[in-house]
Chain A
């Protein structure tokens, strides 16, 4: 008996021991580096052991650094051995001088436990989710559960998007809203797709159910106003403006780029092509004019014409802006941090920044006042001449020469800018811009290649006759390469000057002599000079004609547009790392490369902007498609799935619907073949988008930013939409598209830039009523009412506009003459004689697309009645009403007041 008990007891003990042992030995929950460890590092450690500071020789930013030995020789992290890991010892230490984080409270026990467990598990260094993209995402299955009506599910489930959204809603114990009414949906959709309220015809067809929802979507997507709406968004990213920025902020002609963007959206240019053309259109094999225009994307950078500035400093600033903007726009990454040091949080290194910069550092533009290279827009006839010259060169020379000739005719490159001159004696860089020699003056330009050209092309102007200019080799006593006379010119000219052919790299020594002129007077002002290989086919019939035509075309004044052009190899720049981001402290030379942590580089790609563009739109790039999807999503819902629109990385908010983001990104690349319209259609077809935006204080408190999407979007309209909508509902809006920026009325005295005489000249006729996207944008002084409604000044890339709600906005829509004119026009157009109720209802419906309810009608009617009484009582107020030319009837004046009130209603200013 006792034995039995002993055996039983032993058995129980054995089982217990086994259970215990198994529990000790079984794998502990794997620790997720990105989700659990990285945040601890970022919060507590990275400020001293990260990209900027590496105290004690420890950086926790990169795996190699973190696992390697520190200054002390010990390793902070010994994978698998928490006890041997200095990191664990130091966070547990009790001596405040030893304990980490230094001079901060001790880490929480569970954090310490987590770190130990992670090291124990071998300290696996995860790649952040943002830097890897899955191959495939499965749609979640919606299972039926209690408390949720299947029919309602069916209503909500319109496409894949809704499956993801509903899954999360169910997990949170929430239900989606029902579908919004037809009126609301039509207005929402039209504002989202075209930036305008729906037109009457379409609206009626939809309301009467003649048109299915998809038909409504397709019609709106097909309308040309679609491109105008979406370009506003892209132009914020492209920092498009009509002026150069900085102190003088002079005008710049670059609107052709804006038009290119509108057209690209309207023809739904695939996003990969859209990217290639903007980043590297000039490097395509035979770039079309349009493809060259597209490269103005990166010429939207600012240009500093302030006197006394160093052109190279601002050229570098421009290149830096291009690197930063490219990464902000396409990769949701603030790479700018790495300009000075390795990124504090994200796995990008200091050197990698300069490797990226090397892609952009080889373009011709140099912060010159003329903003060369500038694409010339010839008249048709001249274009034919260009073509003829090209054909001539192709026929007698080579295809390569033909391209050189075409390039030189289209955008005058390659050339040597005046500011490359040094060693001035009796001369100066006039206004720090133009090469100007006085009598007996000289200067040098180094590293010039002439390619055996027998002539020099000189762009200059002069106010004085009788200067003899000599160009010598190397120095004052050098061989004479050219000698010519300079006389007074009428403005700038490009002259062809005989030049001794040579094939070596030269230093040109310029001399000027003119005895009969005042001291310190500039004999001429040289803007640039250049060489192009001699025109082939000398002696062939028609040679002289072609030769003359070439020079004549060069001197033809045309509209122009700054574009990108790559340096020829002999003018190439090397890129060096700037120590601590200071452009004057140059360190190691680097060559173009993309960050290690992102997708691999295909050796087939050229190591220039074209290669970079291809790398960006590679389907392996984890960030490009996600970035685009996230931002397009934001346009509809006012919140990105990753709420930090500008940052998808280790510091960003995690996505609200990670799988949906990836699913849409993959679908965008593979199924829609980068079609933005395809993506947009997916979103607006979803039940999620079609929900009503009604809410309750409880739901608001639960989910203030509508992250879970249990309701439809409800957002204040953008600056552009607010203006366009007011003009549209009043019937004033012009549908004229494209062309130079227009200047609708703005108060006096807004433009006050230093050293700049440009004026705001109010546009006449329909140009007053153009869509906002065509309004002239001066960087230091943007159109005031747009700024009030949170539009930016476009000096740098703006990923997201902060939406504010201020009294100044109320003043705009209440008192800005633009809005008053719209209200008046609306009153005039809709007045039904002797039927104020009918008129007010109509005004309300025209504005909001909804039927008015009795209560609102009551309020507005009261406003009408009292105002009418007042206008009738005081005739003078009607006489000068709104400073209109003709006096107004009291009824119309009172209706205008009502229309003005309607156009200030929250429901009018908001997309619901």
Chain B
């Protein structure tokens, strides 16, 4: 043995012995009645705190962050389609039938209701505004739906209503952030990002979280409502567009054939493999994977985004207009995407902010048109999912970021030319349908004029907890560590709404 090595070995052995001896004596002392006497010296020696680098093996997620992970609990659904009506539709003209409000139409709002309340635009004492649509009970459930949504009656027994959702935000941006990220401020991951992070995505040729926009504008809170916050950006929503490239930069440039692109990627990956042999950096392997997936996406995405290939009767059922950006097209795309294993599809339809400042935002005009524009497509979506057996493994959620007042808006105290309703977060309607949902249920009731919840009040956090529950998560355990603390989508709140679960 090399003399120096021998020396080292001896030294190590000596130390080991010494340590064992000390340890033994200390143990004995502790055993004999805990007679350890302490010194009062204590230093805050940060050297003790130096961590050992935690070696780890490569996991599948290192190479493919979208690889599928099982949920903690069994779940019935595997995908979510979330229809968000940006601008907040009026529950009082759609689902929350308030005959008493009709009787009180035009009367000044009782002051007791206004005490301590803040409104975006209503000032002073506004007048009550009766429902502008007619309601009927439909289906076996006998749930109410208005004549603004004539087609939707057909699926009324598929959906479960939440009629007393509440939020404490009454400006669009913060309320949308709250609805989609669980907090009214920026910086948290969206629901879709959480889900994609937690479960990955089955189809390796498509993004796991797809966002589709209609109505001509992004939602008020901008792209942050599908942002990944502190989660890695691969979990953020990928916006697929009906105009231009369906996904940015997915089309091959002019003059470059598919084959040529394939060869380019093969060349890149061949050289990258050589690099890996030298640097052993797993990021290189991941990059090789991502280039392969990019190539596959270049084929799959344009194909799936092409709704022209759908049979005529399906196109008609949704009421699609090929080549345009519409809610109907997006509903059809949503079905195609979940059918092909996309985990989370988020639809935003802008233009629901019915203040009554002009015809397009009047409750009985522009708003009615908006209802017409979603009525057929969302009904068709539920029916189409149903007939393909997809509804049993998909959750469909519908809602806005808050509701509207039972009072007519009197912007800055002025009488307005059109009938409008102001922002209102105390009670509004959402619905869910699909796997695990009790079709025909209705949970929560509002008071006689639909101002606030009387029973079955649920918060935005409760809605989130329920969605996560359906996907097999315990919302209290589903966390991500950031800045030294675990974060949850539901913050410190949230109760599962069992009343609408089957």
The chain A residues found within 8 Å of chain B, CB to CB, are 23-28, 30-36, 80, 82, 113, 116-118, 120-122, 124, 126-129, 132, 145-146, 246-247, 249, 304, 306-310, 317, 334, 337, 344-345, 424, 428-430, 432, 520, 644, 646-647, 649, 651-656, 658, 693-697, 699-705, 707-708, 714, 716, 747-749, 752-754, 779-781, 784-785, 787-788, 790, 793, 795-796, 802, 804-812, 814-817, 820, 855-856, 859-860, 862-863, 866-867, 870-871, 877-883, 893, 897, 900-901, 904-907, 909-910, 912
Contact = CB atoms under 8 A, between A and B. Distances in A.
Contacts of B227: 793
Q: Which applies to chain B's interface (DSSP): helix, strand, loop or mixed?
A: loop
Nearest to A866: B263
B218 A753 contact: yes
B120 A309 contact: yes
Contacts of B8: 145-146
A906 B45 contact: no
A871 B254 CA distance: 12
Contacts of A345: 484-485
Interface string B256-271: 1101110111011011
A359 to B, nearest CB: 21
B65 A246 contact: no
Contact of A307 (B120, B245, B251): B120
Given A32-B48, A816-B249, A247 B271 contact: no
A878 to B, nearest CB: 6
Interface in B1-36: 2, 4-5, 8, 25-26, 28-30, 34-36
B272 A811 contact: no
Among A35, A693, A815, A893, the one with the most B-chain Cβ atoms within 10 Å of its Cβ is A815
Nearest to A711: B279
Interface of B: 2, 4-5, 8, 25-26, 28-30, 34-51, 53, 55-57, 65, 118-121, 123, 170-173, 185-187, 207, 213, 216-224, 227, 230-234, 238, 241, 243-245, 247-257, 259-261, 263-265, 267-268, 270-272, 274-275, 278-284, 286-287, 290-291, 293-294, 297-298, 350, 412-414, 423, 483-485
Given A701-B55, A752-B217, A28 B50 contact: no
A126 B42 contact: yes
A808 B298 CA distance: 10
Contacts of A129: 44, 46, 49
B290 to A, nearest CB: 5
A13 to B, nearest CB: 17
Contacts of B186: 795-796
B272 A654 contact: no
A870 B254 contact: no
Nearest to B220: A247
A784 B249 CA distance: 10
Contacts of A784: 248
Nearest to B120: A308
Given A804-B232, A808-B238, A128 B44 contact: yes
A815 B261 CA distance: 10
A219 to B, nearest CB: 28
A380 B350 CA distance: 47
Contact of B423 (A33, A308, A796): A308
A703 B233 CA distance: 24
27 contacts: A24-B35, A24-B37, A33-B42, A82-B34, A121-B39, A146-B5, A247-B173, A247-B220, A424-B413, A651-B484, A654-B50, A656-B50, A694-B279, A700-B282, A714-B279, A781-B218, A781-B222, A802-B231, A804-B65, A810-B287, A810-B291, A811-B297, A815-B250, A880-B255, A881-B254, A904-B291, A906-B284
B53 A804 contact: no
A618 B216 CA distance: 53
A520 B414 CA distance: 8
Contact of B53 (A246, A708, A802, A879): A708
Nearest to B276: A906
B268 A754 contact: no
A36 B224 contact: no
Contacts of A882: 253-256
B281 A700 contact: yes
A705 B5 CA distance: 31
B420 to A, nearest CB: 12
Nearest to B7: A146
A35 B53 contact: no
A695 to B, nearest CB: 4
B292 to A, nearest CB: 8
Nearest to B44: A126
Contacts of B241: 749
Contacts of A429: 412
B56 A701 contact: yes
Contacts of A644: 483-484
Contacts of B232: 802, 804
Given A308-B171, A748-B243, A808-B247, A859 B46 contact: no
Identify the interface centre among A24, A784, A814, A866: most chain B CB within 10 Å of its CB: A814
B338 to A, nearest CB: 20
Contact of A705 (B43, B53, B249, B412): B53
A430 B412 contact: yes
B172 A306 contact: yes
A628 to B, nearest CB: 18
B55 A693 contact: no
Contacts of A337: 485
The 7 closest A-B pairs by CB, nearest first: A780-B222, A308-B120, A27-B39, A121-B38, A651-B484, A428-B412, A129-B46
Among B170, B171, B232, B243, the one with the most A-chain Cβ atoms within 10 Å of its Cβ is B171
A551 to B, nearest CB: 32
Contacts of B412: 424, 428-430, 432
A33 B48 CA distance: 11
A806 B53 contact: no
A893 B255 contact: yes
B36 A28 contact: yes
Given A25-B37, A249-B222, A805-B287, 11 more contacts: A26-B37, A32-B45, A429-B412, A700-B281, A754-B217, A780-B218, A785-B248, A805-B283, A806-B233, A808-B248, A816-B249
Nearest to B423: A308
A701 B280 CA distance: 10
Contacts of B423: 308
Given A310-B118, A424-B413, A807-B297, A647 B272 contact: no
Nearest to B4: A146
Contact of A28 (B39, B230, B253, B259): B39
Given A129-B46, A695-B279, A814 B217 contact: no
Contacts of A306: 171-173, 220
Contacts of A878: 255
A794 to B, nearest CB: 10
Contact of B223 (A34, A747, A781, A804): A781
Nearest to A746: B248
Contacts of B298: 811
A811 B250 contact: yes
A482 B39 CA distance: 79
B236 to A, nearest CB: 9
Given A116-B34, A701-B55, A897-B260, A811 B294 contact: yes
Contacts of B248: 747, 784-785, 788, 808, 811-812, 816
A716 to B, nearest CB: 7
B264 A863 contact: yes
A34 B294 contact: no
Contact of A30 (B39, B218, B261): B39
Contacts of A118: 42
A120 B38 contact: yes
B36 A754 contact: no
B263 A651 contact: no
Contact of A790 (B34, B233, B280): B233
Contact of B290 (A700, A807, A867): A807
B290 A655 contact: no
Contact of A795 (B34, B224, B265, B484): B224
